[in-house]
């Protein structure tokens, strides 16, 4: 077992023996307090090292229970961490790149634990490394959390993909049998109409309505799943032109409500054309649908430039929303009204959110019950794209 003591960090001729003792004690205390083990490779051409008591302790050993040498370190180092550790050492010696690596060392218990190792070499006048001093810090818990987190993220992605696939396949495959039910119910209703009593006619009416509603739900669910499958090809889009297109799509509804829709000098944004049209159309449609009784819908589209994105708001003077529902309305199939009051499936805003998230932006609402709503979405500028 080596008794080699470290050569002093401050040249001895500057310090009295008393000073030296104090400095050593200060160093040991600081090292203990910082929970790091210090190593001192006094001569890089030799095997011998000095390890502080904490170094041994971090590996589960008593002070000096094992020999502090380079070979000992190599024996403790996990075989898979050899290559990058010694590559980093060589790079530090040859190019003075910082020596800062993560590796596993074998604990006395036999378990490998993760450490962060840092070090710095002192050199002679020719620049040749002479001595190297460094530290090890236990990062095992942090690494375990990181690994756990990575596994969880991977599992979440997988289950998300599975759900995505399931929603798509289910909604796609449900369409056909529903079509069969719906058309045969209508056929029976037509062919045997004279033979049916009033009660039966009413029941057939319910079945047909139910089928139509289910068809609508399936179509919307299919639409929702398709947004994620959309290849996100982006281009520069003039929002003024897009708004004109959207207005044409909802022209009937605008006419029937005599709605006033205003926008001016909207910016050019960077995004997927059909998805952004879809987003604007859903928001405009909602503003027209949830208009206040006895009020002409007045809808304004406003843009605000921020450092890294554009914020676009669709502001209406409609029925408004209570603040407790601000998040819920973006969840698929969540609605605040019954079908007899306002038609819909509760998918529109979920699609909007999906579109905006796929563009790296966000969407939110500000509203007051009875006082209109403002839906705002942010769209990152082109150079913020990732
Ligand atoms: P749908 O309109 O089919 O119900 P959405 O996902 O588009 O589905 O909207 C979810 C809910 O959010 C609606 O049921 C409605 O209660 C509320 N909502 C959406 N837009 C507005 C709006 N402009 N004004 C008031 N309420 C709105």
pLDDT tens digits, residue range 171-182?
888 888 999 999
Q: How many CA atoms within 13 Å lie on the side-chain side of 198?
A: 0
Q: Best substitution site from 287, 298, 321, 354 to test ligand 1's pocket, by max atoms within 8 Å of Cβ? A: 321
Ligand 1 atom nearest to 320, measured from its CA? 25
Give distance in angstroms: CA of 373 to centre of ligand 1. 10
In sequence order, the 6+-apart residues with CB closer than 8 A to the CB of 38 are 27, 31, 51, 52, 54, 55, 133, 134, 135
Phi/psi of residue 6, each to 5°? -70, 145
In this structure, the residue with its CA closest to atom 18 of ligand 1 is 286
pLDDT for the residue numbered 134: 95
Ligand 1 atom nearest to 346, measured from its CA? 8
Sort strands 260-263 and 298-305 into parallel, antiparallel or unpaired.
Answer: parallel
In this structure, the residue with its CA closest to atom 13 of ligand 1 is 335
Give distance in angstroms: CA of 335 to centre of ligand 1. 7
In this structure, the residue with its CA closest to atom 19 of ligand 1 is 286
pLDDT for the residue numbered 2: 42
pLDDT for the residue numbered 385: 53
For the chain, which ranges sit under pLDDT 70?
A: 1-15, 229-231, 384-386
pLDDT for the residue numbered 30: 80
pLDDT for the residue numbered 90: 97
Q: Best substitution site from 335, 339, 345 to test ligand 1's pocket, by max atoms within 8 Å of Cβ? A: 335
Give distance in angstroms: CA of 342 to centre of ligand 1. 9
Q: Best substitution site from 337, 346, 365, 374 to test ligand 1's pocket, by max atoms within 8 Å of Cβ? A: 346
In this structure, the residue with its CA closest to atom 1 of ligand 1 is 346
In sequence order, the 6+-apart residues with CB closer than 8 A to the CB of 164 are 225, 228, 229
217-264 pLDDT, tens per residue? 898 888 888 887 666 899 999 999 999 999 999 999 999 999 999 999
Ligand 1 atom nearest to 318, measured from its CA? 24
Give distance in angstroms: CA of 282 to centre of ligand 1. 9
Ligand 1 atom nearest to 350, measured from its CA? 6
Ligand 1 atom nearest to 330, measured from its CA? 6
pLDDT for the residue numbered 246: 96
Phi-psi group of 344: left, alpha or beta (phi > 0 → left; psi -120 to 50 → alpha; rest → beta) = left
In sequence order, the 6+-apart residues with CB closer than 8 A to the CB of 130 are 43, 44, 121, 122, 123, 124
In this structure, the residue with its CA closest to atom 14 of ligand 1 is 335
In sequence order, the 6+-apart residues with CB closer than 8 A to the CB of 180 are none
Question: What CA–CA distance (Å, rounded) separates 101 from 110?
Answer: 22
pLDDT for the residue numbered 232: 83
In this structure, the residue with its CA closest to atom 12 of ligand 1 is 329
Give distance in angstroms: CA of 353 to centre of ligand 1. 13
Burial letters for 22-46: b for 16+ Cβ neighbours within 10 Å, e otherwise? eeeeeeeeebeeeebbbbbbbebee
Q: Which residues does a 6 A CB cutoff place in the pocket of ligand 1? A: 286-287, 290, 316, 318-319, 321, 329, 335-337, 344-350, 373
**Beta-bridge mates of residue 138:** 115
pLDDT for the residue numbered 13: 54
Give distance in angstroms: CA of 357 to centre of ligand 1. 19
pLDDT for the residue numbered 348: 95
pLDDT for the residue numbered 321: 97
């Amino acid at each position: 077992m080596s008794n080699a003591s470290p050569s002093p960090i401050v040249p001895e001729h500057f310090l009295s023996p008393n000073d030296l003792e104090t400095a050593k004690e200060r160093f040991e205390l600081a090292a203990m307090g910082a929970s790091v083990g210090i190593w001192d490779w006094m001569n890089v051409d030799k095997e011998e090292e000095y390890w502080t008591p904490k170094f041994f302790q971090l590996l589960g050993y008593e002070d000096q229970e094992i020999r502090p040498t380079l070979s000992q370190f190599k024996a403790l180092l996990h075989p898979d961490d050899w290559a990058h550790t010694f590559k980093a050492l060589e790079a530090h010696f040859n190019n003075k790149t910082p020596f800062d690596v993560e590796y596993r060392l074998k604990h006395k218990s036999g378990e490998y634990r993760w450490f962060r190792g840092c070090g710095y070499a002192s050199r002679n006048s020719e620049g040749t490394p002479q001595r190297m001093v460094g530290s090890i810090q236990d990062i095992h818990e942090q690494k375990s959390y990181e690994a756990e987190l990575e596994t969880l993220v991977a599992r979440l992605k997988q289950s998300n993909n599975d759900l995505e696939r399931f929603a798509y396949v289910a909604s796609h495959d449900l369409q056909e049998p529903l079509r069969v039910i719906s058309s045969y119910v209508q056929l029976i209703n037509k062919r045997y109409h004279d033979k049916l009593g009033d009660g039966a006619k009413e029941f057939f009416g319910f079945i047909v309505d139910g089928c139509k509603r289910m068809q609508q739900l399936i179509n919307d669910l299919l639409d929702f799943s398709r947004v994620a499958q959309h290849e996100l090809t982006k281009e520069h889009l003039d929002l003024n032109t897009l708004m004109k297109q959207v207005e044409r799509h909802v022209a009937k509804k605008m006419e029937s409500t005599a709605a006033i829709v205003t926008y001016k000098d909207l910016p050019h944004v960077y995004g997927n054309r059909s998805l952004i049209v879809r987003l604007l159309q859903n928001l405009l449609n909602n503003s027209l649908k949830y208009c206040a009784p006895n009020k002409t819908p007045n809808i304004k589209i406003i843009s605000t430039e921020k450092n890294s994105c554009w914020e676009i708001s669709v502001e209406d003077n409609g029925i408004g929303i209570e603040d407790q529902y601000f998040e819920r309305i973006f969840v698929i199939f969540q609605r605040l009204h019954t079908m007899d009051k306002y038609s819909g499936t509760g998918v529109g805003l979920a699609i909007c959110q999906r579109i905006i998230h796929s563009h790296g932006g966000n969407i939110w609402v500000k509203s007051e019950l009875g006082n209109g709503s403002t839906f705002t979405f942010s769209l990152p500028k082109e150079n913020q794209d990732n």
